[in-house]
Amino acid sequence: MDKLKLIANDPYLEPHAEVITSRYQAATAKYAELAGQQSLRDFASGHLWYGLHRTDSGWVIRDWAPNADAIYMIGDFNQWREGNSYRLNKLENGNWELFLAENQVRQDDLYAFSMHWPGGSGKRIPAWANRVAQDEQTLDFNAQIWVPEKLFEWKFPDYQRGDEAPLIYESHIGMAGEEERVHTYNEFRENVLPRIKEAGYNTIQLMAIPEHPYYGSFGYHVSSFFAPSSRFGTPDELKRLIDEAHGMGIAVIMDLVHSHAVRNEVEGLGKYDGSRYQFFHNGPRGEHPAWDSYCFNYGKNEVLHFLLSNIRLWLEEFKFDGFRFDGVTSMLYFDHGLGKAFTNYSDYFNENLDGEAISYFYLANKLIHEINPRALSIAEEMSGMPGLATRLEDGGYGFDYRMAMGVPDFWIKLIKEIPDDNWDMGQIFHELTSKRLDEKVVSYAESHDQALVGDKTIIFRLVDKEMYFSMRKDQPNMIVDRGIALHKMIRLATASAAGGSYLNFMGNEFGHPEWIDFPREGNNWSFKNARRLWHLADDPELRFHWLSDFDKILMDWIRENRLLEIPEVHWCYDNKADKILVYQRGDFLIVFNFNPVQSFTDYGIAYEPSKFKIIFNTDESRFGGQDRIDDRMTYYTRPSAGMTSQHYLHLYLPARTALVLKKESFKRIR
């Protein structure tokens, strides 16, 4: 075969060409095996056959449990007792099936399987269940029949996300309200969707959608992969949320956790048919040492069928616009990348790589874009694997974006360990723009990870305890002033230099105080820190709205000018001693003075003959600044000597401020 473009475009990959090519060939061979004469979408149709469905004469339920001896359907309809009329019949290849009369089960009935296997038996929630409910008193989970006679009617059935760069608002349904409780799909739709639209974001990333037994897991310990979490409402209420977002022109993607599964046996896939190896690897390879969970066996066609069908369900049944794949690093490496520093190319092309997982990524991204060519596929990956967000046909893994996970780590290290007057401007620019040329990344200053208990958000690191005492406008405080100034500058730098997309976790745009701490035994099961205090941003007497007002202007500027679709971010100038950083993107010049104490009058920046207007700056009073910069002026470059000499753009740069200028048409006088 011809040399893959991934290799041809990067000479550093040439020594590893054989490994890269063999991985690509293995993935394409698996695709040919599964798709055959049909499409991959046709293969990924397990949810249409397995699980409970209506028929012309009643109902049918099917499952895959190759190690089972017998399976009984138990539930409200038979007092949770085994009976021959509810016993599934064994078919070939480990499949089971039961046809039921119309009156044998009813909509909303609770049910489960009584699964028998050699040497034991146990209650199991069907793996393909499309709704699972938790009893408020016993806290037990059961499947619930959800096959409404009237199908959900979409108002915007043909919505397609545009080709604009994703401005992602990372969200969690349950903690999206102010009250100390779990909030709902309907409340998010009614109260939070309008905020996101007003804030200027065009994409919502929903966390914790598939059912998970422990609320505090943030949705990362999934138990029922085909069931949207019932603690937030019904499947139709989730659909209505997505439909209304589409009506606002907002795409909706979800966190997809195919990297592992909760160990639970009754309400999960753990030892589902009595065996450890049905869905997962047997032995140590099947257990994640850090997450207390089981790892999928991507070499099994039945497991691929399960996972790929799951992708198709969310795309077609719920009309999600794509996914952020969680735990990609863990899937790629046999050691899950734990405690490992990836320092050279050989770390990516040795025997530590799981080729079966690589083939799965090929299949998953092939399927996603076969179903919806405009869908988003984002990888949460920290090793820097070459080709991860490169096109499949070029030898890559097919993700549209990778998360720029080094950026928030860099900001945390800078704020935490280095005094303001030692910040290196060149290093800041490098960290914000460093990526492979053939890939796009989702840049972010902080996500939910930085907001969790045990960590701190940027504003909390900058302001700390003064957050509780000095956020009123009539309470002058130099620590808060510094925090607000740097919060704006950090987000401006991260967003304006982003490598294709930008993400913000809900509430962080206005500097939401404290950390996220879900109810748990250690906090006496409190919801106090598992909510969002929107009223802080709405209160005109508090400083929080300055940050959200700035963030809105920032998002509007990026979106209206399609800034992140301009691939090049050109370094123009930096001065470590003065703490000045200047770079250009398209017609825009972004100028930072990170100096904590020194303002500069008439600061000269070498530039070609041009004229500029200031679009906005962080020192505007509407953003909590001091209005020291005159944004009414037109700024012309001036020659240092004669007209043919080097021109300089002279600006007033107050301490801890940033300016966004737009280059205007300029006719040079000869």
**380 classed as catalytic:** yes
- The CA distance from 492 to 547, in Å, is 11
The closest of 176, 163, 314, 182 to 242, measured between CA atoms, is 314
Spot the catalytic one: 326, 431, 509, 549. 326
**153 classed as catalytic:** no
Residues 6 or more apart whose CB falls under 8 angstroms from that of 670 comprise none
- The CA distance from 656 to 654, in Å, is 6
| Cβ proximity of 178 and 224 under 8 Å | no
Spot the catalytic one: 63, 273, 380, 574. 380
| Cβ proximity of 499 and 165 under 8 Å | no
**Encoding tokens for residue 582?**
């200047």
Q: How far is CA 390 from CA 340, 400, 407, 562, in A?
A: 24, 7, 20, 22
| Cβ proximity of 290 and 318 under 8 Å | no
| Cβ proximity of 606 and 646 under 8 Å | yes
Strands across the sheet containing 261-262: 261-262, 293-294, 287-288
| Cβ proximity of 126 and 63 under 8 Å | yes
C-alpha dihedral sign at 423, 488, 383, 19? negative
What are the backbone dihedrals phi and psi of residue 393, each rounded to the nearest 5 degrees, phi first? -70, -15
Query: E strands, 560-668, where?
Result: 570-575, 580-585, 588-593, 600-606, 611-617, 634-639, 647-653, 657-664
Q: ∠ CA 64-68-69 to the nearest 5 degrees?
A: 130
Tokens 């698996």 belong to residue: 30
What are the backbone dihedrals phi and psi of residue 85, each rounded to the nearest 5 degrees, phi first? -70, -10
Catalytic residues: 326, 380
